[in-house]
Amino acid sequence: MAMLRIYQDTNPRDALQHIQDKTQIAAELNKAGVRYQQWHTDAAIKPGDSPENIIAAYRAEIDKLIAEEGYQSMDVVSLNSDHPQKAELRKKFLDEHTHGEDEVRFFVAGQGLFSLHIADKVYEVLCTQGDLISVPANTPHWFDMGPNPHFVAIRLFNNPAGWVANFTGNNIADQFNRLHN
């Protein structure tokens, strides 16, 4: 189940808001400039399925988003708990970083926790199957797939090089919640 918790960035213990209704999550994130939508996920997708089949299953929705936003490339991230490099991959995304473009992910299976550091707030967004999130360019954030990942996400990029992170050096991510799965 998707969830949004909002914290003051100086107080990782006491959430200012805790929202589980997807319509309310979308409204609250929209106020912060973050795109959050729900797409239908009728295709039976699981970690390990071929990227070509995953993209083909959602081609119409992807093409519509590409036409709207001008994305130039895409890939599929697919991880499960028996992946031999799961710990290294998890660590790669846990430090606060930014991108020079929007970071767009559509979760077609499983879940992941995005934490967005916007102004003086931290927005923790538990994304689950059917959730599309677009983290605006230059927004400090981090992502946690948990110690036993289980997710498949399609990522879209404006940059043909794909995922390029600029780490902030801020240790704020260490103070906030992790995904426990």
The pLDDT tens digits of the residues spanning 31-83 come to: 999 999 999 888 888 777 899 999 999 999 999 999 999 888 889 998 889 98
Q: What is the mean pLDDT of residues 9-23?
A: 97
Are β-strands 17-19 and 35-38 bridged in parallel, bridged antiparallel, or unpaired? unpaired
Question: Domain 3-10+18-175 carries which CATH code?
Answer: 2.60.120.10
- The full length of the chain comes to 181
Number of H helices, E strands in the chain: 4, 11
Q: In whole angstroms, what is the distance from residue 21 CA to residue 26 CA?
A: 9
Q: Which residue has the higher pLDDT, 179 or 163?
A: 179
- Closest-CA residue to 139 (of 156, 114, 157): 114
CA quadruple 82, 85, 87, 89: dihedral sign = negative
pLDDT band at 160 (very low <50, low <70, confident <90, very high): low
pLDDT for 161 equals 63
Confidence of residue 157 (pLDDT cuts 50, 70, 90): confident
What's the rounded Cα separation, in Å, for the pair 151 and 143?
Answer: 13
Q: Give the residue with greater pLDDT, 163 vs 177.
A: 177
Indicate the SS3 state at residue 74.
Answer: strand
